[in-house]
Amino acid sequence: MGWLTDPPAPRAILLSGARQVGKTTLLLQAIEELLDQGVSPDRILYITFDHPITKLIGLEQVLKSWKEIQPPSEGIEYLLLDEIQYTENWPTWLKHQADFQKKRRIAVTGSATPLNTKDQESGVGRWHTIKLPTLSFYEYLQIKNIAIPRLPKIKTLKEIFSWSPEKRIQLSETARPLEPYFNEYLLRGGFPQTAQVENISTAQRLLREDIVDKVLKRDMTALYGVRRVLEMEKTFLYLCLHDGGILDLPTLCRNLELNKQTVSNFIELFESAHLIYKLPPYGYGKEVLRGKYKVYLADAAIAGSVLLKGRSLIEDNTRLGAAVETAFFKHVYSRYYPISIRFSYWKSKKNYEVDIVAEVHNDIIPFEVKYTQSHIKMQDIKGLVQLCKEKNLPRGYIITREFSDFDVIPEKITQTNTTFLKIPAPLACFWLSQSEIEEPLLEGDALK
């Protein structure tokens, strides 16, 4: 709304996100807000291009028809254009509108970002992209009308290090009712429609249809001219089986009997359609260029839904751990990408790993997800300890499963200069996604 009513720069808005994430709903909510602010309805146009007629006649003809029906009026015009990727040359059109139509405020949505270099260059300085992730855990609780336990609001996770053991024990018991809802969140996912479906099997089937049938089989064919749909589907299924894992292209190509260029193109398309995140290895220069990427799905429920796991996911410790790691990464990434945080993973020469490393200005903040039923011990976090020793880091975070495993590991136990916070995954995701919190939750002082 800030960009629509009082834009800080003369740019259009691109709401970018996966299918069914809520882009259309946001446009309709924006229209309601404009009307409530007294904007005349004849100065607002909403149109979706995910329709045979609008696809046929094109963008310019739609606007021409609107002007023929609607007499000219004074003031700002608001154009809210849904699924604009189905129109030809939309980046060039949006560029011209931003350059020459100063009385228009334009918001567009797209389930796929521009891929070719020409389209990207034409958009530089002409539109502001707002990335829409799937629902956070906190938003999921809200949309399901679930009574939320009375938990304190915190400004930064760093606060928890100073809490007394008694306070952590008390809060872990207060938050324990979140656990079954967090498990459901991992099964249903953060898509508003499927989140509200009562039956989990139905919710997963709908999500699978949206991903496989609509995105892979329809959108990829219509938008990018993909013809090898079966091979693309096999590649995506492979990523679902290895969610949160380091992508070994030669192994993938050998297993699926596909060439490297084909697979690379498919992965680029998945990223463009907001189905995956790619995480580079920690470091700079050759170690990054030669390194392998880690791949997370855009939502924790995608893998279980596509693979038809149903509730059995909760009983599969390996798959459940991968889903929790994906959910946690989504919460960290989606909240902090606008403020130039670099995310990566770390791997030592001895194959010790750290799942997520956030670089905030000059600070390095490591996260290790250990979603096991036993309490975390020092031998479980050898990679995290080694990274913290090498970089002399003051703090590290361990995402755990058990609510009773909400604790601080002090320096005297780690035998390093690092203090570790063990925090249960439902609590970590809850605090990372509380909408009322306006200040950063990682290392607040550095971000300020």
Question: Residue 287's pLDDT is what?
Answer: 62
Q: Amino acid identity of 289? A: L
Structural element, H or E, at residue 104? strand 104-110
Rounded to the nearest angstrom, the gap between the alpha carbon of residue 54 and the centroid of all alpha carbons in its chain is: 30
Annotated domain spans of the chain: 2-131, 137-447
Question: Residue 313's pLDDT is what?
Answer: 87
Q: Could you please state the CATH topology (level 3) that the domain comprising 2-131 is classified under.
A: Rossmann fold (3.40.50)
pLDDT tens-digit readout, 308-367: 888 888 888 889 999 999 999 999 988 777 676 889 999 988 889 999 999 887 789 999
List all residues 6 or more positions away from 377 whose beta carbon is below 8 Å from its beta carbon: none
- Phi, psi of 139, rounded to the nearest 5 degrees: -65, -35
The CA distance from 312 to 320, in Å, is 9
Question: Residue 117's pLDDT is what?
Answer: 41
Question: Residue 122's pLDDT is what?
Answer: 53
CB 303 within 8 A of CB 297: yes
Q: Amino acid identity of 27? A: L
Low-confidence ranges of the chain (pLDDT < 70): 112-125, 285-289, 338, 340, 435-448
Question: Residue 379's pLDDT is what?
Answer: 82
- Phi, psi of 65, rounded to the nearest 5 degrees: -65, -40
Structural tokens at position 401:
């499963």
Determine whether 253 is exposed, middle or buried from the number of CB atoms within 10 Å of its CB (0-12, 13-18, 19+).
middle
Question: Residue 115's pLDDT is what?
Answer: 44
**Side by side, which strands form the sheet with 127-131?**
44-48, 77-82, 104-110, 12-16, 127-131
pLDDT tens-digit readout, 120-138: 555 556 888 888 999 999 9
Residue whose token pair is 């003369």: 10
Helical ranges in 392-433 per DSSP H? 411-414, 425-433
Spatial CA neighbour of 325 closest among 291, 355, 293: 355
CB 446 within 8 A of CB 363: yes
Query: End-to-end CA distance of the chain, in Å?
Result: 25
